[in-house]
Every structure is written in C-alpha cells, then in structure tokens.
Amino acid sequence: MTQDMIVGLARQAIELTLLISLPMLGLGLIVGLAVSIFQAVTQIQEMTLTFVPKIVAVLVGLLFAFPWMMNKLLDFTRGLIEQIPQFIR
C-alpha cells in the first residue's frame, strides 16, 4: 500500500463525509436562519425556540435522505472491500 493510495482513500472518505452531512447541515442552517429572523421580528428571545425546530427539521431531513445516504455509504464500503487485494500488494 503506497502513500498515494492512503491519501486518496482519506480524501474519498472526507469527501463522502462532507457530502453525506451536507443535507442535514443545510436544513439546520436554513431553519436556524428562519427562526432567528422570526425572533428578531417578534422580539421573542426564547433560547429553546431555536433548538426544537432545528432538531425537527434535521430529523425530517434524515428521514428523507437516509436511503440516499445509505446508498453512498454502501457503495464506498463495497469499493473498499473490492480493493482489499490491491491494498495488500
């Protein structure tokens, strides 16, 4: 196993991690921004008001994005297992 293979594998793992986390982080950002605007307009400064909508949005997003995320993870894992003979050389 060469140094280039290790760097390539680490790069693929980091890219996959970012790609999989992007939908949940994006939903949390959008909902957080909407709640912040709502709080600024209505002058309600309740701390728990920011957390509950974000958690619900991320869970709903996870519910819908989970099959796609599992597909990506399974493809990556399958590729790793298929490349085991190349890693041994």
Averages of pLDDT over runs of 10 residues in the chain (89 residues) are: 89 96 95 92 84 93 96 96 87
pLDDT score for 61 = 94
26 vs 12: CA distance, rounded Å: 21
pLDDT score for 89 = 75
pLDDT score for 86 = 86
Domain boundaries, the chain: 3-88
Tokens of 61: 């997003």
pLDDT score for 44 = 84
Instruction: Determine what percent of the chain is predicted with pLDDT higher than 90.
Output: 72
pLDDT score for 70 = 97
pLDDT score for 47 = 79
2 vs 7: CA distance, rounded Å: 9
pLDDT score for 15 = 97
